[in-house]
Amino acid sequence: MKEQTAYLSQSIDAILAGAGSLLPEFLLAGFFLLLVTIDLFRSRTIKQLLPWLALTGLFSALILQFLGGYTSGGVQFLNLLRSDGLARFSGILFSAAGIFTVLLSLQSKVLEKLKESRGEYYALILMLVLGLNLMAKSINLLMVFLAIELVSIASYILTLTLKQEKRAVEAGLKYVLYGTLSAGVMLYGMSFFYGFTGSLNYTEGTFWQALLQADVLLVTIAAILVFAGFFFKISAAPFHFWVPDVYQGAPMPIVALFSTGPKMAGIIVILRFVAAFSDPVVAAYFDDVLLFLGIAALATLVVGNFTALWQKTPRRLMAYSSVSHAGFLLMALMAFGTNYTTGVLFYLSVLLFMNYGMFLFLQISEENFGVQKLEHFTGLGHKLPYLGVMALLYLLSLTGLPPLAGFTGKLLVFTNVWEAYSAFGKPMLLTLLVAGVLLTGVALFYYIRIPYYLFLKRNLTEEKLVISLSDKLLLAFFAVPLLVLFFKPDLLLHWIERLLAQTL
């Protein structure tokens, strides 16, 4: 009895000692419960406060993570979660993504008509951001699985926000089916890892040392099964089939969130997982796994870029654009032996502003001017030069052309891959580098189709078109960082390096 009491006391002390590292998550959970509770009231005035409460919660979490000081670097919560510099920077990106999603939702005419489940909608955005934070902090395979499932459940419901539309129901059903399949496969692979090592903490050296003693073929199979779940979250081939349908059926702000948040969190999880491959001994043992990652990155690049060439709707074009960016990020994670983490985080930061700016442009075009296909952009740039120029900036940055930060992000990725190839001489790295450069040229062909219709085709109608001042300001807000970070990338790179210095 005394032993049980002592064990319980130690467990409580351990929980209390690590609870401070989860302060942003507790804050988000509290606002989630507040939104759900307030949504029970029928007062119209109270319901109008819902998005502003969501913004308050997300902004509070952002400020808390930006300032830091709520925990010392590397604090662990029961050997499940680690609150370090990497998790802190990721949390800042996730909170920003949540804020941008709410801002786009406030500008959306479609969501303005949403009478039911408004509180649920904003509460689920906070729940999704909470799950993303847990994904970035997870250092335990079971915790990774639970965090991914928390994000997935919120994503499934948010996809069905416009459940009165047939395409939303179809998208939600496909998302659930693919998500359930990938989750089952991933959990099966994790059970193999536990059987081999007797541990679920994949950041410990003993975990990888135990794997080195196991059968190579079985370990490779287990790793591929685990990566299947990760690939689903970042929309990498061959687990990308849900992407075009979900992008077509979900509300535009949620599509913007899906194109950034889960992708960023999935990349952080993979980044922590493959950190052990920097050890030459471990990398040599997992040579087949690294080959699989290289092939997956190459396949994702090829599928994303070439499939985008044939798309006729802006949403589906951006869906395959998102797949191609997952390929570039996977390629960046192959550059072992270099400072690739800084480049990956810079790329993710730039991707956040590029995607939200682009999806805001699509939301304005779709809801105000009835744009459903690429040819519907005809002449829009002549009638609304400001809108057209902003779209051009985002598209050039997505392509990776100067003078925008998308160019700097891709340059960092290519530089790291070249350094890794120069150091180790692996043919897969050179293949990825050449493919990445060539496919950037392919990307220009499908991205340029939108400016082609905007500026090079004329619309003869005399209808006067206008966009709101708030939309103009928000478009500028997303565009300014893309220009600033091209000319002064050190502003972000130095900050990332300081935060990563806290990562254990």
**238, two tokens:** 């061959």
Domain boundaries, the chain: 286-504
What pLDDT is attached to residue 504?
45
CA max distance for the chain: 86
> Is residue 16 scored above 80 in pLDDT?
no
The mean pLDDT value for 448-468 works out to: 79
Calculate the CA dihedral of residues 230, 231, 235, 237 and round it to 10 degrees. 180
Q: For residues 101 and 95, what is the distance between their CA atoms, to the nearest angstrom?
A: 10
What pLDDT is attached to residue 93?
95
- Complete DSSP assignment for 382-407: HH-HHHHHHHHHHHHHHHT-TTSHHH
Q: For residues 296 and 312, what is the distance between their CA atoms, to the nearest angstrom?
A: 26
Cβ partners under 8 Å of residue 11, min gap 6:
none
Task: Give the residue, 348 or 284, on which the prediction is more confident.
Answer: 348
In the structure, what pLDDT confidence band is assigned to residue 110 with cuts at 50, 70 and 90?
A: confident
CB distance 406 to 322 below 8 Å: no
Q: For residues 340 and 275, what is the distance between their CA atoms, to the nearest angstrom?
A: 11
Within a 10 A sphere around the Cβ of 213, how many other Cβ atoms?
9
Q: Is 109 exposed, middle or buried (0-12, 13-18, 19+ CB in 10 A)?
A: exposed
Nearest to 413 by CA among 395, 393, 432: 432
Q: For residues 387 and 394, what is the distance between their CA atoms, to the nearest angstrom?
A: 11
In the structure, what pLDDT confidence band is assigned to residue 170 with cuts at 50, 70 and 90?
A: confident
Q: For residues 79 and 204, what is the distance between their CA atoms, to the nearest angstrom?
A: 10
Within a 10 A sphere around the Cβ of 117, how many other Cβ atoms?
15
Within a 10 A sphere around the Cβ of 462, how many other Cβ atoms?
6
> Is residue 406 scored above 90 in pLDDT?
yes
Q: For residues 285 and 317, what is the distance between their CA atoms, to the nearest angstrom?
A: 39
Question: Residue 468 in 3-state DSSP?
Answer: coil
Task: Give the residue, 108 or 466, on which the prediction is more confident.
Answer: 108
What pLDDT is attached to residue 6?
63
What pLDDT is attached to residue 73?
56
What pLDDT is attached to residue 9?
65
Q: pLDDT, tens digit, for every residue of 395-404?
A: 999 999 989 9
Considering the chain, what is the average pLDDT of its residues?
88
In the structure, what pLDDT confidence band is assigned to residue 437 with cuts at 50, 70 and 90?
A: very high
